[in-house]
Structure 1
């Protein structure tokens, strides 16, 4: 029998182990370690992470030495690993593609079940859905606002109706918001001052006999559309060249019509007459004239690739306005010249008519008018029937009368001075 053993007593030396016993011991240790890893996976993973974290340099150096020693084997392992990874990714992609197809087909075959599932899930997860929405909005605030703005701009009538419906359904909430806003004394005072200023302006306009201030209300959608159009217009890199081509085209068209208006009019009338003889639908001679002028100017221009139909129409309107002003100026000059010539040729008769008109005005009790001015007025009335004045307004006629009176006054002063000089020489 073996009795108690004294641990402090000297022990006999252990017998030497054979290789077989050592291999058995290592196998038992590996088995114990494997069972421990299976039974305590989290502790083993944490222990491994701590060891790796504490021995990074050692691991890196060990891997480097092994790779230098077994370079071909390392390359072979790397190729095998990449091949397995590529095969795995391909299989996963094929599996996901088949799953998507299967799911899509099932959703197409069972739309009612899909909608019911979605409704049920939303009803059962209201808080989660709200949190999803809030989280997405916090992360993509600008994109969400931009999409909402685009929807409102695409359907302004629907947006306005939705806004009115919300206001009608939430009157108390709107009133509470207004009360909370006006609770701020600075905001309340600013609103009172703005209202008082508007009333003062309205009363001032009424006292002055002026109409009330009229503003064109522009909605936010209209302002955004105008801003986008302005950015697109002024941001166009071809804008300077476009403006240059438009300006040159307007100048050339105006110059051509001022120089060749009679020839263009003759061509247009001949073209219209030819269409009538051929039995074709009638055409407007003015439209034909301007269309022909545009063709001639475009053929003679160096660059017109950026011009549009709106540019051509604007150029035609500008040229017409310029020609109208030129013709109006010519009529004005001709009228003044005709009045002056008529007075010079018929001065005696016109002076007698002016004296008779002056006596008649005194007899009727009308205010007296200078006799020379009456003379020019009578001459203007006689000449107006013979000189074209279709483009002259009342103001133009008054200015022509003033210019003619001034020119005749200078001539009469010069004549009287010559007569006095002649009488002095005779004396």
Structure 2
């Protein structure tokens, strides 16, 4: 074979005589790897002898690095801005590119989705639930459409569920119990049992409201203010109810004389008592209008209960005193009533019961009953009868004691 020409051999000879930059860098790396401790010691000695120069070089290096990072950030920002403008100017091409890329990389997209879902499962489920809750009608429509498209799948799921004997038996028992209840209500003439089926969206909304209510850091102070306000309102009404009603009556009369529209007395009473209690309390800043209305309703119910109990006690005392005062007349009236009943062919009634009935009727006629009902009157009669029996028994014991003392004397 012929030797290569002199011109062709010259570059090879030059590469041999003058090694490349890569070879030089490789030898330097090898030297550094073999002499790390020596190089580190030399650098330390040089830095200790030239500290100012080392710091100056370090500052220059940091400035160059910061400038380089700034330039790179500007380049990236300009690139993002250009890409953004291009996407705005070419939405169809962008969409086409995305669709083409997704179509060509189905497995990669699925892998991305699965990986993201594994690491953000709760967030993905929460966003999906929020989307369903935002438009429940659309969610129902989608569910119905899926059910129409997947009838066989639904049937298979139901068969799989009923394949468990325990689940199947529990469903049969629940259905049988529902049918029995329906028949029982129908025979009794009662309406069927109605249940409001709460959807998952409603349950989630209720849970969010409950969490917001119970996790509110101001809730303890809010409840304290409401409790104190309601108790103070009730206490003030029970103590000054009569005076407040007198004030309300006078206010209503004044408005009537001035030709102003009438206002219920009860409204004026509770408006005034709310104003008084709110002025006396140290803090009411967390109370809302709903809280005040709830406290007023509680006070109204408590006041009605206390007034009813007081009226009942007063009625019992009045009946007992009336029987003690007019016992002879009432017994005579009871005998006449029994005679009239016998004349009409009706059975007689015990004298004590007739005395109590006549006395209660006379007292109820001349005493304002306000909130007392017929049942309250019956309760008052039973209590008065017991008190009379105790009173008669105590008097009998006293008489027997006196007689016994006289016989001994």
Q: Residue 219 of structure 1 aligns with which residue?
A: 199
Specify the SS of the correspondent of 1:190. helix
Correspondent of 2:46 among 58, 69, 82: 69
Aligned twin of 2:292: 312
Distance 1:180 1:323, change over 3 A: closer
- 1: CA distance between counterparts of 2:176 and 2:291? 45
- Give 2:249's aligned residue: 269
Deviation (angstroms), 1:401:
0.8
Q: Per-residue CA shift, 1:58-85, capped at 9, x if unaligned?
A: 3354144135326455544433332222
Gaps of 5+ in 2: 1-12
Q: Check if 1:403 corresponds to 2:383.
A: yes
Determine the structure 2 residue equivalent to 1:371. 351
Identify the residue that residue 147 of structure 2 maps to in structure 1.
167
Alpha carbons of structure 1 residues 27 and 287: separation in structure 2 relative to 1, 3 Å = farther
- CA contact 2:233–2:277 (8 Å) conserved in 1: yes
Residues 204 and 59 of structure 1: is their aligned pair in 2 closer, same or farther, counting only changes over 3 Å? same
When the two chains are superposed, the root-mean-square deviation of aligned CA atoms in Å is 3.7
CA contact (8 A) 2:312 2:380 kept: yes
Alignment gaps of 5+ in structure 1: 1-25, 38-43
Please name the residue that 2:9 is paired with. Answer: none
Structure 1 residues 206-215 or 63-72, which shifts more? 206-215
The farther-off stretch of 350-359 and 394-403 is 350-359
SS of the aligned residue for 1:307 comes to: coil
**CA distances 1:318-350 after superposition (whole Å, capped 9, x unpaired):** 211111011101221222223223333433343
Partner of 1:386: 366
How far apart, CA to CA, are the structure 2 residues paired with 1:205 and 1:105?
A: 68
Structure 1 counterpart SS, 2:74: helix
Per-residue CA distance 1:242-300 (angstroms, 9 max, x = gap): 33322222222111111111221222233333334444444332212111111111111
Counterpart residue number, 2:76: 96
Choose the corresponding residue for 2:20, options 20, 26, 33: 33
* 1-structure distance, mates of 2:235, 2:278: 13
Equivalence map 1:141-220=2 (5 Å): 141-183=121-163, 187-196=164-173, 199-200=176-177, 203=180, 216-220=196-200
Is this contact kept in 2: 1:331–1:392, CA < 8 A?
yes
Deviates more, 1:192-201 or 1:158-167: 192-201
The farther-off stretch of 351-360 and 246-255 is: 351-360
TM-score, normalised with respect to structure 1: 0.77
Secondary structure at the counterpart of residue 283 of structure 1: coil
Is contact 1:153–1:221 with CA below 8 Å preserved after alignment?
yes
Match status 1:331 vs 2:308:
no
Shift in alpha-carbon separation, 1:136–1:414, aligned structure 2, 3 A: closer
What per-residue deviation string (whole Å, max 9, x for no partner) do you get for residues 362-417 of structure 1? 45555543121012112212221211223123321111011222233344455667
Q: Give the whole-Å Cα distance in 2 for the aligned partners of 1:174 and 1:28.
A: 78
- Take 1:175 and 1:250, find their aligned partners in 2: how far apart are those partners? 57
Report the 3-state secondary structure (helix = DSSP H, G, I; strand = E; otherwise coil) of the residue aligned with 2:143.
Answer: helix
> Partners in 1 of 2:96 and 2:250 — Cα distance?
78
| Cα displacement (A) at 1:218 | 3.3
Partner residue of 1:285?
265
Asked if 2 retains the 8 angstrom alpha-carbon contact of 1:331 and 1:388, the reply is: no
CA distance in 2, matches of 1:29, 1:269: 121
Give the match for residue 58 of structure 1: 35
Match of 1:240 in 2: 220
> The residue matched to 1:337 in structure 2 has which SS?
helix
Is this contact kept in 2: 1:67–1:74, CA < 8 A? no
The answer to which of 141-150 and 386-395 deviates more is: 386-395
